[in-house]
Amino acid sequence: MNQNTVCIVGLGYVGFPLACLCAKKGFKVSGFDLDAEKVDLINKGKSPIKDSYVEENLAAGKIKATTDAKTSLNLADIAIVCVPTPAIDSKPDLSFVKAACKELAPFVSKGELVIIESTIYPGTVEEIVLPILEKGSGLKAGKDFFLGHCPERIDPGNKKFTIEKIPRVLACLSAKGNAKAKKFYNSLIDAEITVLASVKSAEAVKVVENTFRDINIAYVNELAKSFDKMGIDLSEVIKGASTKPFGFMPFYPGPGVGGHCIAQDPYYLIERARQSGFKHSFLALAREINNSMPSYVVLLVEGLLQKAKIDLKNAKISVLGLSYKPEIDDVRESPALKIASLLKPKVAKLTLFDPFVLEKSNVSSLDLALKDCDCIVLATNHRVFLEKLLPSFLKSKSVKAVLDARNALDKQGIEREGILYKGIGR
């Protein structure tokens, strides 16, 4: 199997770690991407994404990246499509998948295995991908070449579940395709590879597992709003409920849901179901609740400043953390950026600082971020913030109020220093 040439179409957060893993496992690897800068970096043995696992497993020089379809796609025995599938105004956008398949189609050869890893909705492979590949290649899917879906499950920044340790599910149009795909992923992944009965089931798995997360986060976010009214500390309640060894799974309220997975994948399921005549009102409501959290945070900031007798229009606020989750630099759909844009027109001075996202920060250090600041908004619970933002340190910086949008700081200690504190449901 490892004598095969693998071509990864799309060398981003999903495709590049996959290309590194294929090279590490001995495959000949070519990568195709439209971004010449990214291609140039990779050919210099550098990573186009900040990810410690990837940087340690770069397989420097073993990935031939190019922006020219012919030189990469032409040689592939196995082609894996890992292009973005965003949601634009809550609607799925499959334009990148279609474009990638149009590039790939003329180079699909007999016996080739084509796998879509991008998150797609059920029916995409058979109704959208298959016609493009058959038309462009003149070959029959499932007979002349093999076609299927293996949803990506990469978790950026997760050092425990690195790409080769994450179980995968897949399904191809034919039994032969299933066998070839299972053999390929078994040669890469040190975890269970499950073959499902249909491509549509495999397409549904990813949107279901990520929608599961979205509705549960919406659940605790709504609880946070209600417990703020009732004066109950939700973090205490979740801690208590988590002592139940079965039937409960903790999720945590926050400033909203960011990232390119959980914030977007539900729209793929909602839209496909709508096309099929079913309205997912519950899933849509969960999206609304999570999307309402940045404004809720701003409302809490206004209440906090009122308590501190600070006029909003004269307030100096520092938003700490810009990425959508800790220890990464990814700001896609980040609630912190939404909070910043809502606060900006309302306050006298808005400082932004994230050590992982210096290019969007307007100061270069935490000290500078806290200089002459009335109120901090902790939007991303990076470890370095939890270590530094101790009550005594905040006191020393004459911070008057703390809006802890991650319920991550020492509430009692901060209040003991005479600093106002508000969490989310806390």
Q: Report, as residue numbers or ranges, the catalytic residues.
A: 261
Q: Which of residues 210-229 bind ligand SAJ (CB under 6 A)?
A: 210, 213, 217
Rounded to a whole number of angstroms, the CA Rg of the chain reads 24
C-alpha distances in Å from residue 130, one per residue of 10, 108, 170, 185: 19, 12, 16, 21
Least Å from the CB of residue 155 to ligand SAJ: 4
Nearer to ligand SAJ, 145 or 324 (CB): 324
Q: With CB under 6 A as the rule, give the number of residues binding ligand SAJ.
A: 20
Nearer to ligand SAJ, 262 or 304 (CB): 262
Question: Cα 116 to chain center, whole Å?
Answer: 18
Segment contacting ligand SAJ by CB under 6 A, of 147-155, 240-248, 308-316, 353-361: 147-155
Nearer to ligand SAJ, 80 or 347 (CB): 80
Strands ordered across the beta sheet of 78-81: 63-66, 28-32, 5-9, 78-81, 113-116, 146-149, 168-172, 193-195
Segment contacting ligand SAJ by CB under 6 A, of 31-39, 146-154, 167-175, 295-303: 146-154
For residue 142, state whether it binds ligand SAJ (rule: CB under 6 A): no
Least Å from the CB of residue 152 to ligand SAJ: 6
Least Å from the CB of residue 264 to ligand SAJ: 9
Least Å from the CB of residue 26 to ligand SAJ: 25
Distance separating alpha carbons of residues 19 and 225, to the nearest angstrom: 44
Distance separating alpha carbons of residues 346 and 264, to the nearest angstrom: 29
Nearer to ligand SAJ, 209 or 417 (CB): 209
Least Å from the CB of residue 291 to ligand SAJ: 12
Least Å from the CB of residue 227 to ligand SAJ: 15
- How open is the CA angle 17-21-177, to the nearest 5 degrees? 105
Least Å from the CB of residue 221 to ligand SAJ: 7
Q: Which of residues 184-213 bind ligand SAJ (CB under 6 A)?
A: 209-210, 213
**Residues 42 and 16: beta-carbon distance below 8 Å:** yes
| Binding flags for ligand SAJ, 154-173, as an x/- string (CB under 6 A) | xxx-x---------------
Count of residues making up the chain: 426
Comparing CA positions, the residue from 102, 172, 176, 113 lying closest to residue 137 is 102
Comparing CA positions, the residue from 270, 367, 382 lying closest to residue 323 is 382
Question: Cα 190 to chain center, whole Å?
Answer: 23
Nearer to ligand SAJ, 96 or 252 (CB): 252
For residue 266, state whether it binds ligand SAJ (rule: CB under 6 A): no
Tokens 């005594």 identify what position? 392
Secondary structure of 306-349 in HEC code, one letter for each residue: HHCCCCHHHCEEEEECCCCCCCCCCCCCCHHHHHHHHHHHHCCE
Nearer to ligand SAJ, 11 or 234 (CB): 234
Residues in CB range of 196: below 8 A, 6 or more apart: 169, 170, 171, 202, 205
Nearer to ligand SAJ, 103 or 117 (CB): 117
Helix (H, G, I), strand (E, B) or coil at 376: strand
Strands 420-423 and 28-32: unpaired
DSSP string, 164-199: GGS-EEEEESSHHHHHHHHHHHHHH-SS-EEE-S-H
| Binding flags for ligand SAJ, 94-123, as an x/- string (CB under 6 A) | ------------------------------
Nearer to ligand SAJ, 315 or 409 (CB): 409
Least Å from the CB of residue 337 to ligand SAJ: 11
Residue nearest to ligand SAJ (CB): 259
For residue 262, state whether it binds ligand SAJ (rule: CB under 6 A): yes
Least Å from the CB of residue 119 to ligand SAJ: 7
Q: Which of residues 230-259 bind ligand SAJ (CB under 6 A)?
A: 251-252, 254, 257-259
Q: What is the DSSP letter of 67?
A: S
Q: Report the residue from 207, 261, 301, 343 that binds ligand SAJ according to the rule CB under 6 A.
A: 261
Distance separating alpha carbons of residues 164 and 346, to the nearest angstrom: 47
Q: What residue ranges bind ligand SAJ (CB under 6 A)?
A: 152-156, 158, 209-210, 213, 217, 251-252, 254, 257-259, 261-262, 324-325
